[in-house]
Amino acid sequence: MHESLATPPGYIVVEGPIGVGKTSLVNRLAQSFAAETLLEEAEENPFLERFYNDGRQAAFPTQLFFLFQRSRQLAGLRQQDLFRRALVADYMLEKDRLFAGINLDAQELNLYEQVYERLSMEAPSPDLVVYLQAPVDVLMTRIQKRGRVQERRMEAAYLQRLSNAYTDFFYHYEKSPLLIVNAAEINPIERESDYRLLLERICSVRSGKHYFNPAPLLL
């Protein structure tokens, strides 16, 4: 049974770099709000393992596959009248562009941008974006803990570039209300008190940019 809460935003996106805890939080929020989920389906990308083994050679097909996959999902939401049902997602289409900027060379990126501009018009804007931040050492620890084989070669330098790209993107982001969360100092998945605090903030944000950085509770 979902918890009794103030009316949440109808379409929430949880974003952040690899290993920050997006999907775990999405699943918990969906349970609280009795909402549906829209999740990345990275395991469907046939190029992803090759990318982790040889990023330079496999980056372009990997990125195009994700772009087409995500744009189809989001276009489908528009057709189903998204704003009449609660939904929590663990990605936004713009994140694909961040990864492209890091992984593609200049010629590939130019071609990618042409395709992206054709597809991104179908993406609906969230009612709230929850951006999870954490230092690279925390991300590396979490990635190792979850033990996904294809991620075992991921380097800290790559995660740092990705984190920097996210920071820059959300510094300028104005399309939707934004809640920036320090995900290193709290544990909303395993610690109920942290989750309740975060949940209250999510339900209260209706406009502008906000920060959630409470001191961790001592057990």
Annotated binding-site ranges? 16-24, 40, 52, 63, 85, 90, 142-146, 151
Cα(174)–Cα(170) distance, integer angstroms: 8
3-state class (DSSP) for residue 209: strand
Gap between the Cα atoms of 135 and 162, Å rounded: 11
Asked if 218 and 187 touch (Cβ cutoff 8 Å), the reply is: no
- Known active-site residue 90: yes
Structural contact between residues 65 and 71, judged by C-beta atoms closer than 8 angstroms: no
Nearest to 132 by CA among 217, 218, 212, 39: 212
Active-site annotation holder among 54, 81, 90, 168: 90
Could you give the CA distance from residue 162 to residue 102 in angstroms, rounded to a whole number?
7
Q: What are the catalytic residues?
A: 90
